[in-house]
């Protein structure tokens, strides 16, 4: 077990998300040799974690919290000192707060980095003039206003799809059992990408100046940093940078020089 800092990734939500975050940690690390890269522990056990959206929308359904606590403890035993959860829905207060409290109550010291708050902070730093932020997400994140509340607290206006667009376009892009991103993320289907591009266009028409891809699957369908002159914000990249900052700050790649206008690259 390491005695120094190490990054932990609690993956499996969806199946590509944890490994995608690990790749982004590598891409955001300033390194020129193998040995320059930071230690990362990835734990992906999707079969053990009840669905977060189902639980949040109906509290009689199985809670993911016990499984998340168990996996966080395994990461800490493996040496992780700061943990990222590449699942926006898992950052809902009814999940994240008891997760952090339970870890601490049971003697854990692993730091849980909040992807939602880090994403809002990133927009403030890189797009300080932006006032209207579009958010695409699962229906659970949409209804619980995870990003909306955080953006409102930061003085920004949230732009979201109307209920019909959310239920007929955005949510199926993620969850459709045949062509959705959880069913087929590599490669992404043309249907899923087309639906997502339609949703981005709708938010632009509503005045969005930047768009948060607020489900970890969505950046898999739209990897471009800019779509139709709109910057795309990938919270997984933001989380990767925050994890490096909390463990090996000297290894964090610098942001682009034109921070007020450039999206965050993943190269």
Whether 30 contacts 37, CB under 8 Å: no
**CATH value at residue 120:** 3.40.50.1860
State the total domains in the chain: 2
Residues 175 and 186 grouped into a single domain: yes
What is the 3-class SS of 115-141, one letter each residue?
HHHHHHHHHHHHCCCCCEEEEEECHHH
110 and 242 fall within a common domain: yes
**What is the chain's pLDDT, residue by residue, as a tens digit (267 residues)?**
456 899 999 999 977 889 999 999 999 999 999 999 999 999 999 999 999 989 998 999 999 999 999 999 999 999 999 999 999 999 999 999 999 999 999 999 999 999 999 999 999 999 999 999 999 999 989 999 999 999 999 999 999 999 999 999 999 999 999 999 988 888 999 999 999 999 999 999 999 999 999 998 899 899 999 999 999 999 999 999 999 999 999 999 998 764 343 445 554
Q: Both 135 and 74 in a single domain?
A: no
* Dist. CA 109–CA 72, nearest whole Å: 10
Phi, psi values for residue 46, rounded to 5°: -60, -30
Asked, for residue 204, whether it belongs to a domain, the answer is yes
Contacts of 190 (CB under 8 A, 6+ apart): none
Contact 252, 29 (CB under 8 A): yes
Listed in sequence order, the residues at least 6 apart from 36 whose beta carbon sits closer than 8 Å to its beta carbon are: 29, 30, 251
Residue 193 lies in a domain: yes
Token pair of 33, please? Answer: 């040799």
Note whether 132 and 204 are same-domain residues: yes
Supply the pTM of this predicted model. Answer: 0.92
**Domain limits for position 203:** 116-234
User: What are the strands of the beta sheet with 40-44, ordered from one edge?
Assistant: 40-44, 7-11, 82-84, 111-113
- Does some domain include residue 59? yes
Instruction: Note whether 107 and 120 are same-domain residues.
Output: no
Judgement on whether residues 39 and 102 belong to the same structural domain of the protein? yes
Identify whether 267 is part of a domain. Answer: no
21 shares its domain with 106 = yes
212 phi and psi angles, rounded to 5 deg? -90, 125
Please indicate, yes or no, whether residues 180 and 191 belong to a single structural domain of this protein.
Answer: yes
């Amino acid at each position: 077990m390491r005695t120094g800092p190490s990054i932990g990734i609690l993956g499996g939500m969806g199946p590509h998300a944890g490994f995608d975050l690990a790749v982004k940690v590598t891409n955001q690390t300033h390194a020129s040799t193998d040995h320059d890269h930071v230690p990362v522990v990835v734990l992906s056990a999707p079969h053990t974690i009840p669905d977060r959206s189902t639980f949040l929308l109906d509290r009689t359904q199985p809670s993911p919290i016990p499984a998340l606590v168990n996996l966080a403890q395994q990461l800490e035993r493996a040496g992780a000192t700061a943990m990222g959860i590449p699942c926006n829905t898992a950052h809902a207060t009814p999940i994240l707060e008891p997760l952090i409290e339970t870890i601490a109550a049971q003697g854990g010291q692993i730091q849980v980095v909040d992807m939602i708050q880090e994403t809002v902070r990133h927009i403030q730093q890189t797009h300080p003039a932006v006032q209207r932020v579009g958010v695409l997400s699962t229906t659970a994140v949409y209804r619980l206003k995870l990003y909306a509340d955080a953006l409102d607290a930061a003085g920004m206006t949230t732009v979201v799809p109307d209920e019909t667009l959310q239920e007929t376009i955005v949510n199926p892009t993620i969850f459709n059992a045949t062509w959705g991103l959880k069913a087929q993320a590599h490669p992404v289907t043309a249907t899923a990408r087309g639906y997502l591009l339609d949703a981005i266009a709708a938010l632009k028409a509503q005045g969005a100046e930047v768009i948060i891809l607020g489900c970890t699957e969505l950046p898999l369908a739209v990897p471009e940093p800019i779509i139709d002159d709109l910057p795309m914000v990938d919270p997984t990249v933001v989380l990767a940078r925050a994890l490096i900052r909390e463990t090996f700050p000297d290894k964090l790649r610098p942001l682009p020089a034109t921070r007020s206008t450039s999206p965050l690259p993943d190269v």
